[in-house]
Each structure stands twice: as C-alpha cells, then as structure tokens.
Amino acid sequence: MNIEKRVKELVEEKIADKPNLFIVDIKMHSNGKLIILLDGDNGIGIDECVQVSRHVGFHLEEENVIETAYNLEVSSPGIDFPLSSPRQYAKNVGRNLGIKMKDGAKREGTLTGLTEDAITIEEKVKEKGKKAQVIESVIPIDQITETKVLISFK
C-alpha cells in the first residue's frame, strides 16, 4: 500500500469532525521522515497537530505500514511554505503575496479575491516618469508556479 495514501486516509479520518482543518501536504522522504502539513481556515493549534500525530502514529504501528524506522512530523506549513490550495489563498485575502509566474516573471501585490481558477491582486505599477498606480490584476492559477505570503517588518 502507498504510505502517503494510507496516511492521508488516517488524517482525513481524524479531522473529519473538524471541517475548518485541511491537509496541505503529506510526504514520505527517503531518509525516513514522514511530514504531514495541516492548516485551518482560522489556523491550527499544537493540540490538533498532536492529536493527528498520535492517531496516525498509532495506526501506522498497528498496521505495520512502514517497515523501517521513520520520524513522524505533524505541523502547520511555515510562512516560507508556498500556498498550494484554494483554502490557503482564501485565508490570506488582504495579505501581500510574492508570485512567481510560469514565464519567469515575478509579481507582488495584495490578494483581494479569488475564484476557482484565478486570483485577484492589487499591485503597484510604476511607469518611467509617472507616479506609481495601483491596479487590479487577475492572474490565472495555472500560470503561477509559486505563491508565498510576504512578511513586512515595517
């Protein structure tokens, strides 16, 4: 059985009664590290990560899904982890994003909205000799390679 598939089933089973929580990523690395990244519409607490870790760890051991030694890590994605799901975009409306496009371009702006297949940002555009203008841009999600939340310490 595919380890990541079984882990996904176990996590979904544990968070089924918490509709505000969702899976961001599950990866089994060749070095034996199993990483489960969870998030919530209003964030996720350490207690919820602990509950998922205990549930998944118990069942993996009982079922002997992983035959070699492994290290289980359950956490929320860090601020440097790219956004990957519509729910992550939704919870970050109003925040500044750095976006890498498939054509190599980089864009930056405030996320103002999203649809099923695009995001809308307000970005400052400066033309030579003119004052910077704030324009609204719709960016198709399939043209984005990476989106990260930008943190300002100003």
pTM above threshold 0.85: no
Rounded to the nearest 10 degrees, what angle do helices 3-15 and 46-63 cross at?
A: 130
CB 108 within 8 A of CB 96: yes
pLDDT of res. 1: 55
| Banded pLDDT at 28 (limits 50, 70, 90) | very high
CA 147 centroid distance within chain: 10
Over residues 46-105, the pLDDT tens digits come to 999 999 999 999 999 999 888 888 999 999 998 889 998 889 999 999 999 999 999 999
Quickly tell me which residue has 């089994």 as its tokens.
28
Residue at 132: amino acid letter: A
Q: Which distant-in-sequence residues (6+ apart) come within 8 Å of 119 by Cβ?
A: 89, 111, 113, 138, 139, 141, 144, 147
Over residues 102-144, the pLDDT tens digits come to 999 999 999 999 998 999 999 988 888 888 888 999 999 999 9
